[in-house]
Amino acid sequence: MTQVMSPRIARLGVPREEDSQERCPAGSGPAARGGSLALRAHYDRIAPVYDQIRPKVLDSFSEHLGTIVETLDTRVGARVLDLGCGTGRYLAALADSVSLHTTGLDLSAGMLRMAQSRVSGRSALVCAHAETIPLPSESLDLVFCIYVDHHMASLASMLKECERTLRPGGHLVIVTSTIEQVKRFVLYRAAPELVTLEHRRLNPPEKLCREARSAGFSVSRVSSVDAPPGRVPAEFLSHIIRSRSLSVLARLRRHEVEAVAQHMDCLMHSEGLANVPVYGYVTLTFQKD
């Protein structure tokens, strides 16, 4: 279902590559702006590989979102925002539901272009920063935020924006992984230094709950899936690492990435693994007070 929600969004639309930098507002302050630009450049570059990773890593996820939409008793015509929609895999699943009005928002024009080809007119798309959502107050019923919160310069600002744009009683659903879930994944067993990096950026569920309460939400539900279905083939994992297609790898130098890839190949070989289980995730559902 297509919905262009305001003239401002219609103007923003999905930018061309050459003008995306000017049109996407960054977070506040020079440091946040620098971080946002680097992150945007990273996602612009990896968009095609990222799009291949998603179904392999979170195979059953679209169904999971469908269940959430049902469980929350989402009404016909509900206005749903996928905050940090990436290449639009989950947005497309939501947009396929004729009863929802969907919008995808992302900082990266490269990711949005792929989302555009996937949702092709069934959803509005906005290139913007999640800490300054260009939507009117109380204009949404449900916000999904899937593997995005750890990228924020200010988690509090993102949550405050979700609170502002949701109607009273509306829901925010955040999906992320805990450090314990991530640590079990073969990549992190091969490269413990990456665990330290993830430790710094992942928001533990307790912190998300605390900050969401401060932003004006109640915690409705926290659920964890430790062993989702799906496996990643070894070859594909090597490709992901060597092409630096996970944002955590963008923080390493090229030779460090190669060392990580070799450690992981050795580990998989010594354990006789042709593919590995994907890592678990946590779903946190909040309701605006």
Ligand X SMILES: C[S@@+](CC[C@H](N)C(=O)[O-])C[C@H]1O[C@@H](n2cnc3c(N)ncnc32)[C@H](O)[C@@H]1O
Residues that bind ligand X (CB under 6 A): 36, 39, 43, 54, 84-86, 89-90, 106-108, 111, 129-131, 146-148, 151-152
Going by C-beta distance under 8 Å and a sequence separation of 6 or more, which residues neighbour residue 117? Answer: none
As a whole number of angstroms, the distance between CA 226 and CA 184 comes to 10
Short-list 134, 143, 127, 125, CA closest to 2:
125
Query: Number of C-alpha atoms within 13 angstroms, CB side, residue 50?
Result: 24
Nearer Cβ to ligand X (204/273) = 204
As measured in angstroms, the least distance from the Cβ of 185 to ligand X is: 15
Nearer Cβ to ligand X (21/262) = 21
Nearer Cβ to ligand X (36/102) = 36
As measured in angstroms, the least distance from the Cβ of 239 to ligand X is: 17
Cβ proximity of 3 and 124 under 8 Å: yes
As a whole number of angstroms, the distance between CA 177 and CA 89 comes to 18
As measured in angstroms, the least distance from the Cβ of 266 to ligand X is: 27
Nearer Cβ to ligand X (84/170) = 84
**Helix %, strand %, coil % of the chain (to 5):** 50, 20, 30
Distances (CA, A) of 246 to 43, 119, 168, 238: 9, 24, 36, 12
Q: What does the block give as tokens for 29? A: 């302050």
As measured in angstroms, the least distance from the Cβ of 43 to ligand X is: 4
* DSSP classification of residue 249: G
As measured in angstroms, the least distance from the Cβ of 54 to ligand X is: 5
Between helix 30-57 and helix 109-119 the angle, nearest 10°, is 40
Neighbours of 171 (CB within 10 A): 27
As measured in angstroms, the least distance from the Cβ of 246 to ligand X is: 8
Cβ proximity of 88 and 62 under 8 Å: no
Nearer Cβ to ligand X (36/97) = 36
As measured in angstroms, the least distance from the Cβ of 222 to ligand X is: 19
Residue type, 70: E
Nearer Cβ to ligand X (246/259) = 246
Classified as helix, coil or strand, 245 is: coil
Nearer Cβ to ligand X (144/268) = 144
User: Which residue has the CB atom at the shortest distance from ligand X?
Assistant: 86
